[in-house]
């Protein structure tokens, strides 16, 4: 099917999806490859303050919008199951791991109407003639923020460790693994925990959800290092825990999501992994100093910012609103060609891929 026929079909279907008094949407997990697995309907965070126009449902026969949360896996068969389910609305895929698994992502996005990347710097390869690439919507929160809010207030007066916290998977393919391993040799400043998926008996896999939240809340500052230029959810998670945060300058979307003025306000410290350990130690001490100087007020300020701007609920609303803007013409779509991809994408009047928050 040519793009000249495909594009009007996508837009017309999306217009119908948003035309009624209610827009019913469904959230599907891309981690379940051979069955349709819903999420969100029992999650109070996603349902909290839900726009009256949008209503979540697990009935795909009445759903107008389906958002597939892709985790870098091949969801081709899942789209086949969705087709058989009776769903006939607009299909959105949110590629939260488009910085990894390019072949699997390409197989997944080709069946969608709209593609929402989570990382803009490596999203051109997702372009194609069958789906519209919308604005980048970053993937941020790792854990249930309502639980974090409760635990944070319970522990406001508790002492915190001054060492920089970093909990990561020890991926052999990732350059950051060697970098983090090097930091762990400086245990006076950094508390780096590298966990292996092959060794399920390591400390991390024995921790309960509450234990993990408590771990975040027991440090004054943490460090965010990307696998492949990606904006790590650890930044928002650290802020939600009230921490100051060290962030690598290798993160490609950092300045668009956290511009310098906002970083200064929140206590986000940018560093270069290539600058050397002594400079990073100095920045780490600054981050701890800011935490100590701002105290309780700083903890609550950073937490409030994360809760307001970087929740799962906020991301779902942004995706729905962005697609609605494309459907009614507030965001124009053009054919765009890059060295690593050609296809339909939102036109912002310049070559930058903007981020929607």
- Do the beta carbons of residue 341 and residue 124 sit within 8 Å? yes
Give this prediction's pTM. Answer: 0.89
For 32-71, what is each residue's pLDDT tens digit?
999 999 987 766 555 565 678 889 999 999 999 999 999 9
Supply the pLDDT for residue 141: 60
pLDDT at 148 over 90: no
Say which residue, 271 or 313, is predicted with more confidence. Answer: 271
Which helix (DSSP H) or strand (DSSP E) does residue 195 occupy? strand 190-195
Task: Indicate the average pLDDT of the chain.
Answer: 89
Structure tokens at 219: 């440090």
d(CA 105, CA 184): 33
Which helix (DSSP H) or strand (DSSP E) does residue 161 occupy? strand 161-169
Strands 65-70 and 90-95 turn out to be parallel
* Helical segments of the chain, H only: 3-19, 44-47, 76-84, 102-109, 145-154, 175-183, 203-206, 209-216, 234-240, 254-257, 260-266, 277-309, 312-327
d(CA 241, CA 141): 11
Mean pLDDT of 1-14: 83
pLDDT at 354 over 70: no
Backbone angles phi, psi at 50, to 5 degrees: -65, 130
d(CA 132, CA 346): 7
């Amino acid at each position: 099917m040519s793009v000249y026929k495909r594009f009007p079909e996508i837009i017309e279907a999306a217009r119908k999806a948003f035309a009624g008094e209610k827009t019913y949407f469904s959230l599907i997990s891309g981690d379940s490859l051979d069955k349709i697995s819903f999420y969100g309907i029992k999650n109070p965070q996603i349902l909290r303050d839900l726009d009256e126009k949008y209503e979540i449902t697990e009935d795909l026969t009445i759903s107008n919008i389906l958002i597939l949360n892709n985790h870098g896996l091949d969801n081709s068969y899942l789209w086949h199951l969705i087709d058989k389910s009776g769903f006939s609305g607009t299909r959105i895929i949110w590629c939260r791991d488009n910085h990894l698994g390019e072949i699997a992502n390409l197989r997944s996005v080709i069946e969608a109407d709209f593609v929402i990347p989570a990382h803009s710097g490596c999203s051109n390869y997702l372009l194609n003639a069958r789906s519209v690439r919308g604005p980048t919507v970053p993937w941020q929160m790792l854990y249930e923020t309502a639980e974090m809010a409760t635990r944070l207030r319970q522990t406001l007066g508790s002492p915190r460790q001054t060492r920089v916290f970093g909990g990561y998977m020890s991926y052999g393919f990732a350059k950051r693994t060697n970098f983090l391993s090097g930091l762990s040799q400086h245990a006076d400043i950094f508390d780096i925990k590298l966990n292996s998926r092959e060794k399920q008996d390591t400390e991390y896999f024995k921790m309960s959800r509450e234990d993990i939240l408590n771990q975040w809340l027991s440090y004054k500052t943490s460090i965010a290092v990307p696998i492949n230029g990606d904006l790590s959810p650890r930044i928002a998670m650290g802020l939600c825990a009230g921490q100051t945060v060290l962030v690598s300058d290798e993160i490609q979307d950092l300045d668009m999501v956290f511009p310098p003025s906002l970083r200064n306000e929140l206590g986000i410290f940018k560093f270069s992994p290539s600058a050397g350990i002594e400079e990073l130690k100095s920045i780490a001490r600054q981050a701890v100093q800011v935490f100590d100087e701002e105290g309780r007020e700083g903890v609550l300020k950073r937490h409030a910012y994360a809760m307001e701007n970087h929740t799962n609920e906020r991301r779902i609303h942004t995706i729905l609103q962005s697609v609605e803007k494309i459907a009614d013409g507030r965001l124009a779509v053009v054919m765009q060609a890059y060295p690593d991809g050609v296809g339909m994408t939102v036109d912002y009047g310049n070559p930058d891929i903007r981020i929607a928050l």
